[in-house]
Amino acid sequence: MNNYRYMAGAAKMQIPFPENFFPYHSWGPRRLTGIHDLLCVRCIYISSPGQLLLVSIETGDIDPEWVEKLSFACGVPSENILICATHTHTA
């Protein structure tokens, strides 16, 4: 039997937008004028003998630098971080 302490945690946070963000000109003729539904980031952290960080972010794309920034901020190796974008304008 090992003496390792297993840990898990979950979090949800609203994505803030600056007040001067709208109107936002998107691709094509689209002009976004406000927020219809709040957008959030959700995370699950699991620590057993290793660490795992799962991130779901309600955006349409992911910046590749986010993995390294999360790795630095959370102390989780970048190869143990999974980020998925879950927002779509066609749902």
Q: Which amino acid is at 20?
A: N
Reply yes or no on whether the pLDDT at 30 is more than 80. Answer: no
Taking every pair of Cα atoms in the chain, the longest distance, rounded to a whole number of angstroms, is: 62
Q: For residue 65, how far is the Cα from the chain centroid?
A: 12
Average pLDDT rounded to a whole number, residues 38-48: 93
Handedness of CA 38, 86, 71, 69 (dihedral sign): negative
* Bridge partners (DSSP) listed for residue 13: 41
Q: Is residue 39 within 8 Å of residue 87, measured between CB atoms?
A: yes
Q: Where residue 69 falls among pLDDT bands split at 50, 70, 90?
A: very high
